[in-house]
């Protein structure tokens, strides 16, 4: 198979799309020369085929990452690591349109949102580049006869498995803290969206990274993903995706070499609107909270609780707002919502819509396909959703929101926490005391007040309960990619 193909986007015209595996700073075919097809979800057409990594390719990539970890990367100074990362950010900055267009093509997200993603990717890599020479230990005063210090050391070879909803953004959240702290990486993209990570890989060598430091492969979860999580020479695995796969990865880590595990999993986040909220603002954020990225967000505000005093007014205005979201061609600059990422996801979401109808919830708007080509679903609002209904309990991961009415603060805290997930939550109110009380009570890794989805690379993000283990972004992520070494030195003579 050739290691690249010519593809076209309305933004870039023709461009060269790499299709191989990026191992040791080179494009290679898989050992078994397997490939798989990449689909454009807006048209259901095949874009190209890319190399599929098998266990054998994972072995080769891990060996390359190990060699770099023990060799060139170990002797690279922290300052130089940071320079490579900021150089990479500079190169990405010169290629925003290309990266965004490839993301839209393969994932279906609107081009304006894809550009937003790429800006966040650049910010994230530059931010962690800045951390590279600020990873510091402590000295600890124990007594006069000894001297103790700590060193945060890299963990080693990190396997990173990412999903398809934010292909480039998830890549940056993963590699940023890993590389800044001196680890090496084998990253597997999601099989639904391999293209942007391959375009990204093309810039790794140009930025100056030594061979083997950052390896990027395409492949399936049950083959390459499973091989990474069970690998005896991978020291850490970081994963974003579904809760069942998160469990499988943890089991694989436990039954192989007890590699360190961080997980960023699903969510069913409550978005709470009190009577005294600025209703126009709240509707805007509730709309953005659920429909951003077509509902394919781990932190989507998919359970909306509205206080009884404004309930009817809120529903009428929210319905109007949802119906105004422009759904369609991802390459139209005005599009807000593109197609779901795949036929499988489309079918899953339509299944949830059927379940909601069967269980007796009311469809206020949507509930059906948009258009006749591509995996588009109309923004959907269910009301009269009770706490036991499937659409209130399970992650739908589509443009479908479940709305319920509440009376008191105490009741809504209970409802908000009535979930096995705990990734995010939001509170809309003009009363600062309500905002702080409810934020403190909600069992979630992120709480937004009078906003939603305001994620920034400087601010930690991650889950309570079954939404995950560990934190990404901010200073907090560094802890997941370093391990503490304590060195104790005896200054006095013999003790015994
Ligand atoms: P998934 O969890 O199967 O896929 C995510 C990543 O894990 C992909 O790279 C995949 O190749 C890999 N993977 C799959 N099985 C694996 C295994 N056994 N070992 C190692 N890696 C494996 O998610 P999927 O099927 O694409 O989506 C299903 C549901 O998962 C969605 O409807 C949504 O509810 C949730 N999800 C949550 C995401 C989040 O951001 N937290 C992202 C994507 C999906
Ligand atoms: Mg695709």
**Domain chopping of the chain, boundaries:** 4-265+469-484, 270-456
244-249, Cβ contacts within 8 angstroms, sequence gap of 24 or more: 245/221, 246/468, 249/161, 249/225
Q: How confident is the model at residue 196 (pLDDT cuts 50, 70, 90)?
A: very high
Q: Is the pLDDT of residue 496 over 90?
A: no
Q: What is the CATH number of domain 270-456?
A: 3.40.309.10
pLDDT of the residue at 231: 99
Residue 136 a catalytic site member = no
pLDDT tens digits, 321-333: 999 999 999 999 9
pLDDT of the residue at 493: 83
The answer to whether 355 and 391 are in contact (CB under 8 A) is yes
> Mutate which of 242, 247, 259, 355 to test ligand 1's pocket (most atoms within 8 Å of Cβ)?
242
Q: End-to-end CA distance of the chain, in Å?
A: 69
pLDDT tens digits, 418-466: 999 999 999 999 999 999 999 999 999 999 999 999 999 999 999 999 9
Query: Could you tell me the distance, in angstroms and rounded to a whole number, from the CA of residue 191 to the centre of ligand 1?
Result: 10
Q: Which residues surround ligand 2, an ion (CB under 5 A)?
A: 39, 106, 192
Question: Cα separation of 68 and 51, whole Å?
Answer: 23
Residue 264 a catalytic site member = yes
User: Which atom of ligand 1 is least distant from the CA of 170?
Assistant: 40
Ligand approaching nearest to the C-alpha of 189:
1
Question: Cα separation of 204 and 227, whole Å?
Answer: 24
pLDDT tens digits, 290-310: 999 999 999 999 999 999 999
Tokens 């509440």 belong to 406
pLDDT of the residue at 495: 79
The reply to whether domains 4-265+469-484 and 270-456 share a CATH topology is: no
Averaged pLDDT score across all residues of the chain: 98
> Mutate which of 39, 58, 163, 191 to test ligand 1's pocket (most atoms within 8 Å of Cβ)?
163
Return the DSSP state at 327.
Answer: B
Residue nearest to atom 20 of ligand 1 (CA): 225
Query: Could you tell me the distance, in angstroms and rounded to a whole number, from the CA of residue 47 to the centre of ligand 2?
Result: 8
Residues with CB under 6 A from ligand 1: 161-165, 188, 190-191, 220-222, 225-226, 229, 240-242, 245, 248-249, 264-266, 298, 345, 348, 395, 397
Cα torsion through 222, 225, 230, 235, rounded to 10: -170
Q: Is the pLDDT of residue 494 over 90?
A: no
Paired with 428 in beta bridges are 273
Q: What homologous superfamily is domain 4-265+469-484 in, according to CATH?
A: Aldehyde Dehydrogenase; Chain A, domain 1 (3.40.605.10)
3-state secondary structure of 8: strand
pLDDT of the residue at 89: 98
Structure tokens at 397: 């991961």
Question: Cα separation of 369 and 68, whole Å?
Answer: 49
pLDDT of the residue at 1: 79
User: Which atom of ligand 1 is least distant from the CA of 246?
Assistant: 2
Ligand approaching nearest to the C-alpha of 47:
2
Structure tokens at 304: 């909306």
pLDDT tens digits, 1-13: 799 999 999 999 9
Cut 0.85: pTM above it: yes
Ligand approaching nearest to the C-alpha of 238:
1
Query: Could you tell me the distance, in angstroms and rounded to a whole number, from the CA of residue 123 to the centre of ligand 1?
Result: 25
Q: How confident is the model at residue 492 (pLDDT cuts 50, 70, 90)?
A: confident
Average pLDDT rounded to a whole number, residues 144-150: 96
Residue nearest to atom 14 of ligand 1 (CA): 221
Ligand approaching nearest to the C-alpha of 240:
1
3-state secondary structure of 37: strand
> Mutate which of 108, 188, 217, 221 to test ligand 1's pocket (most atoms within 8 Å of Cβ)?
221
Phi, psi of 138 (to 5 degrees): -130, 155
């Amino acid at each position: 198979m050739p290691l690249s193909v010519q593809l076209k986007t309305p933004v870039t015209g023709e461009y060269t799309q790499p299709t191989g595996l990026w191992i040791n700073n080179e494009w290679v075919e898989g050992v078994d020369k397997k490939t798989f097809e990449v689909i454009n979800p807006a048209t259901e057409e095949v874009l190209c085929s890319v190399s599929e990594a098998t266990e054998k390719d994972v072995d080769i990539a891990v060996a390359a990452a190990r060699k770099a970890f023990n060799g060139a990367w170990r002797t690279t100074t922290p300052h130089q690591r940071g320079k490579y990362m900021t150089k990479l950010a500079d190169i990405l900055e010169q290629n925003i349109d290309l990266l965004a267009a490839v993301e839209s093509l393969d994932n279906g997200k609107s081009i304006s949102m894809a550009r937003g993603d790429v800006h966040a990717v650049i910010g994230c890599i530059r931010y962690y580049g800045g951390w590279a020479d600020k990873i510091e230990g402590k000295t600890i005063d124990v007594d006069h006869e000894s001297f103790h210090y700590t060193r945060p050391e890299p963990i080693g070879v990190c396997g990173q498995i990412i999903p398809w909803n934010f292909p480039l953004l998830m890549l940056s959240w993963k590699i940023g803290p890993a590389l800044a702290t001196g680890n090496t990486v084998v990253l597997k993209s999601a099989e639904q969206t391999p293209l942007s990570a391959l375009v990204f890989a093309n810039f790794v060598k140009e930025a100056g990274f030594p061979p083997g430091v950052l390896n990027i492969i395409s492949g399936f979860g049950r083959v390459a993903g499973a091989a990474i999580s069970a690998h005896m020479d991978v020291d850490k695995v970081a994963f974003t995706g579904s809760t069942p796969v998160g469990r499988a990865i943890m089991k694989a880590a436990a039954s192989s070499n007890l590699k360190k595990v961080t997980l960023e999993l699903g969510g069913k986040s409550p978005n709470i609107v009190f009577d005294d909220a600025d209703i126009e603002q709240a509707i805007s954020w509730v709309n953005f909270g659920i429909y951003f990225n077509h509902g394919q967000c781990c932190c989507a505000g998919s359970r909306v609780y509205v206080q009884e005093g404004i309930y009817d007014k809120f529903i009428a205005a929210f319905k109007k707002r949802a119906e105004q979201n422009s759904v369609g061609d991802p390459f139209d600059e005005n599009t807000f919502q593109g197609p779901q990422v795949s036929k499988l996801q489309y079918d899953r979401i339509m299944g949830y819509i059927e379940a909601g109808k069967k269980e007796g919830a009311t469809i206020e708007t949507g509930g059906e396909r948009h258009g006749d080509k591509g995996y588009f679903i109309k923004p959907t609002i269910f009301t009269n959703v009770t706490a036991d209904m499937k659409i209130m309990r399970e992650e739908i991961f589509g443009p479908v929101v479940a709305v319920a009415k509440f009376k008191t603060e105490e009741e809504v805290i209970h409802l908000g926490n009535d979930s096995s997930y705990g990734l995010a939550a939001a509170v809309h109110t003009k009363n600062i005391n309500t905002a702080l009380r409810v934020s403190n009570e909600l069992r979630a890794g992120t709480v937004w007040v009078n906003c939603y989805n305001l994620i920034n690379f400087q601010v930690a993000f991650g889950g309570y309960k079954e939404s995950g283990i560990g934190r990404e972004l901010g200073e907090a992520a560094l802890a997941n990619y370093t391990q503490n070494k304590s060195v104790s030195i005896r200054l006095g003579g013999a003790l015994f």
